[in-house]
Amino acid sequence: MTEHPPTLISVEDALAGLPRCVAPMRPRLAAAPFNSREHLFEVAWDGLRASLARDREGLRCLDRHGGDLLPLVPEMRDARIPEGAYLDGELIVCDARGRPSYDLLYGRLGPRAAKRGRGPVFVAYDLLYLDHRPLLGRPLEERRARLHELGIRDRRVAVPEHLESDGEPFFDAVEEFGLEGIVAKKRRSPYVPGVRTVDWLEHHVTPRADVVIGGLLEDERRGVRAALCGWSGPGGLAFAGEAYVPPFLGRWLEEATRDFAMDVSPFATPLELRPGIRWLRPKLVAVVEHEGATGPLLVEARFRALRLDGDATDTLVSPPVDVPTAPPSGPAERPRLVVLQSLPFPR
C-alpha cells in the first residue's frame, strides 16, 4: 500500500474562512401578541431574508438559498462590517414615511427593476460568526449584545433595537406606525440553521401567508382576477382557496406567469373547471393577506406579491402557537421609543 504524506492544514487559513451560507432559522406563527420575560421582541421587517458576511474573499450578501444578491443591490458592495463577521437579517426598501415595504422591494429587485423608495438597507438582527468563530450555540441575548458592540456605522446597515418582556404594547406601537408586525424570540435560544421553530414566533398586524400559486382565473378585459392558492404537503398540493388580485396587478401577473403554464391541474383534489382558468406549475410562491382561515381554506384572501425567494416545498399549513401572557412590566412609553429607534429612516 502506498503511503501518502499527511495533508497540513493552516490554522490561520481555516480561521480566515466563513461558511458561504447558513440556512436561516425561521419563526412559527403566534396566535396573538403576548408578554413574557423569557422573550425579546423585535419589529417584523417586511423584507427579503438575507445574510451579510465578510472574510478574506470580500463581502457577500446572499438570499436564504445562497443566491448572490449583490448584482441586484450593488449599493451594498461597499457596506462596512468587520472581517470575520456573519450577520443574519433582511434587505428592505422603505416608503416616503420610512416604513419597510415589500412592494417597493419587489419593484427594486424584480424583473422591471424600478428604483423607487428609500434604500436598500440591510437590517441586521443576529450575529452568527464573530472573528471567524461561530456563535450559533450562544444564547440570543448574548449574540445581540455582541452585534450592538460592533458599533457598525454605515447608512446601508441598520442594527435595530429590541424590547424586553412587553410584546402586547410593542405590537400596539408597531400597528400604530403601520409596520408588518412583531417577532418574539426566546432570550436563551441558540441559533439552529434551517428550522422553523417555536423559539421564535411572529404575529402580523394583517394576517398573511405564503402560498403556492397553482392556477389563475383570467378575463380578457383586466387579465388575472384571482389566484388559486395551495399548500404543499405529503399528499401533494392542497387547495387553500382563491386570492383576489387587484385590477392594477392583473396584466402584470398574467405576463409574469406565462412561462409556468401547464395543461392539467397541479392540485391533489379535483377543482371545478371554469371559464378563464389557467393552470400553473406549482413553483411560484405568493404573499397573500387574509381575514383568517376555515380549516385549510383562507378567508377573504388578497394577492399581494410574488416571493422573490419563494420555496414551494415550504408552504405548509401550520397552526398558530398559543403563549400565555403576563401583565406588562416596563414604562408605557418604551415600546414606541424602541420602534422609533429601530427604523433606519427616522420619522
Look at the block and give the residue holding cell 371559464. Answer: 275
What is the per-residue pLDDT across 17-29, written as a single tens digit (0 to 9) for each?
A: 699 999 999 999 9
Q: Is 12 a residue whose pLDDT tops 50?
A: no
Look at the block and give the residue holding cell 392542497. Answer: 238
Check residue 72 and give its pLDDT.
Answer: 92
Q: E strand or H helix at 251, and its extent? A: helix 247-256
Name residues whose C-beta falls within 8 Å of residue 301's C-beta, 6 or more positions apart in sequence: 209, 229, 240, 241, 242, 243, 244, 288, 289, 290
Check residue 111 and give its pLDDT.
Answer: 65
What is the per-residue pLDDT across 103-124, written as a single tens digit (0 to 9) for each?
A: 899 888 876 666 788 999 999 9
Contact 87, 127 (CB under 8 A): yes
Check residue 333 and give its pLDDT.
Answer: 94
Name residues whose C-beta falls within 8 Å of residue 165's C-beta, 6 or more positions apart in sequence: 35, 36, 37, 39, 41, 326, 328, 329, 330
Check residue 106 and give its pLDDT.
Answer: 87
Q: Which residue, among 213, 216, 245, has the nearest Cα to 232 in the 3D structure?
A: 213
d(C-alpha 246, C-alpha 264), whole Å:
26
pTM of the model: 0.90
d(C-alpha 115, C-alpha 107), whole Å:
7
Length of the chain: 347
Q: Is 233 a residue whose pLDDT tops 90?
A: no
Cα atoms in the Cβ-side hemisphere of radius 13 Å centred on 114? 7
- Using left for φ > 0, alpha for ψ between -120 and 50, and beta otherwise, residue 292 falls in left
Sign of CA dihedral 138, 140, 141, 143: positive
Q: Is 291 a residue whose pLDDT tops 50?
A: yes
Other beta carbons within 10 angstroms of residue 261's beta carbon come to: 12
Mind listing the domains of the chain with CATH numbers?
21-205 (3.30.470.30), 208-314 (2.40.50.140)
pLDDT band at 307 (very low <50, low <70, confident <90, very high): very high
Contact 132, 16 (CB under 8 A): yes
Share of the chain above pLDDT 70, in %: 93
Contact 106, 187 (CB under 8 A): no
pLDDT band at 151 (very low <50, low <70, confident <90, very high): very high
Bridge partners (DSSP) listed for residue 262: 279
d(C-alpha 89, C-alpha 126), whole Å:
7
Look at the block and give the residue holding cell 393552470. Answer: 279
What is the grid cell recorded at 118? Answer: 428609500
pLDDT band at 16 (very low <50, low <70, confident <90, very high): low
Check residue 214 and give its pLDDT.
Answer: 97
What is the C-alpha end-to-end distance of the chain, expressed in Å?
73
Burial status of residue 169 (CB atoms within 10 A of its CB: 0-12, 13-18, 19 or more): buried
